[in-house]
Structure 1
Amino acid sequence: MSGDEVLISARGLRKRFGDFEAVRGIDVAVHRGEAFGFLGPNGAGKSSTMRMVAAVSPVSDGELRILGLDPATDGPQIRARIGVCPQEDTLDTELDVLENLLVYGRFFGLSRREVRARADELLEFVQLTDKARSKVDQLSGGMKRRLTIARSLINRPEILLLDEPTTGLDPQARHVLWERLFRLKQQGVTLVLTTHYMDEAEQLCDRLVVMDGGLIVAEGSPRALIEQHVTREVAEVRFAPGEQPDTLDDPETAEKWGDLMGGRLEVLPDRVLVYTEDGDRVAARLGEIGLRPASVLVRRASLEDVFLRLTGRSLVE
């Protein structure tokens, strides 16, 4: 953990919309200098929590403190000290890249001289100096995201809130953005993010919570969550079309075969996942118990395995 000072503290935090309770009493503590993540399927309560933390949505019940301040009474002071990178880019397409930063900086009361110096500094940081006079519409998706992050940093925030920061970006753009966010963390900025990308959470987060149905169902570092909820390795066993044994659909049979292979089985329509401490041993034993798969892939267990085990594989709209 980067520091003992708690910048975000929530106890019994709840958010209601009429009869619907989106956040159902969660406890969270985010320390200075760490990168903290909220993971969960659609409707888990992540965005509702982030909006309360951003001091733009009132708390329905419980206690929330941001930088030691109460968002119910100190909203403007909190918003002056945090940065927010929304999921959707809200850049002004009528302005060029530099003007987007200059205009936004004036909202925080920065002098023209100060905001210009800060804008130049941020354009260099996000590698957009050569695009300073380009219109927003001329930028790629990755460039727009970097500009949005630059804009959210104009007031030198102590906390940066990022809602799905790399959604829709290609792998190269995602990695560039990850590197920029890592540098921000090195500079002491506290990062709080939501993401649907498990590899992103593993790359960026020191700690995270998994939310489901408005509740926190797990909390810890990515590595600790993997060790706690799944095994060290996963063997993905694929069969040729129509050749996956029907008997694996029977829970008792699947459990018995799992015992024989030395791991827990998850039977999917297109493959069987064996959660095990020794994937090579599983691959070797398949033939011994009469299975003839088309392929076997042994991989390291990931945060995605944890996520799917805790929240299920059903599609949530």
Structure 2
Amino acid sequence: MSALDEALDAIRRRDAGRAEDRARRAVEEAPGAARARAALALALVLARRGREALAEADRAVAAAPGEAWPRLVRASALRLLGRGREAIASAEEAVRLAPGSPRAQLGLALSLFAAGYGDEARGPLARARDAVPEDPLAVRLLGELELRRDPAAAEAIFRAALRADARSADARAGLSRALARQGRAEEAEEAFEAAAARDPSFTADRDARRREVGSFLQATVAAFVVVLCLQLAQGVIAGRWPAARVAATALSFVATAAVPIALIAWASLRLRRARAGAAPDPQLPSLADAVQEAATSSAGRPPGDPQPAPR
């Protein structure tokens, strides 16, 4: 098995360390190969190193500008970085290059959903499902879309996804959320534990989010106490030193305005850090398949043959 094949297999198994090691070996063997660069980009997405992943994805796109799959890899890196509009643009370009590709349509749907455009994601998702109705990832994404409207319908969709792929941790995590939305806490916890048993990153993500919420609440209480102390100090200063009343009032006003701004900035920073620890991009295995298929289709071409038509 080549280093590239080993890297793609590790990506499917979500073994980030092995995937990066073998992908870097593949790049050393063929520095200008789009497939090797794309595999390394996917390994870095799996490792939550978005900036490095985007740099490698850009190199893959430059090496294969007429192919759709490097642009889907790039969209995955951009989703990790939270750059939603750019991810959508990259996925749209993949659809333009391969309009009949269910994988490209699904990549666009995922990018739209991740950027908060759930209703817009339904169009490309429907086109993907027209081609592959039972695709597990497409079914799971449909469940995520329905979760906000009808948790009972989402539950049915996630259960259907599990019938198609009983090993799917993502589907079990979705089922857990659907059950929780319906107030079925015990069943939701059981589904979540089953998901975490298949992918420990779900437990790490939940624990991290709980810590973030706790830290934010503590910081909010501390900020409230600081503002209250400043208000009390203003009254004391104004009472004892009338000449300093204007300065004390200005200081209190600035502090009262600055504290919420600081809290918002702090929360945004923590949110970005939490995103970096979230579960891996659910399209990674499919993108690994895309790189594999590109390698397979090109392996049989004599040197100098033209690149295949975009898939």
TM-score, normalization by structure 1: 0.28
Q: Which of the two has greater helix per residue?
A: 2
TM-score, normalised relative to structure 2: 0.29
Greater gyration radius? 2
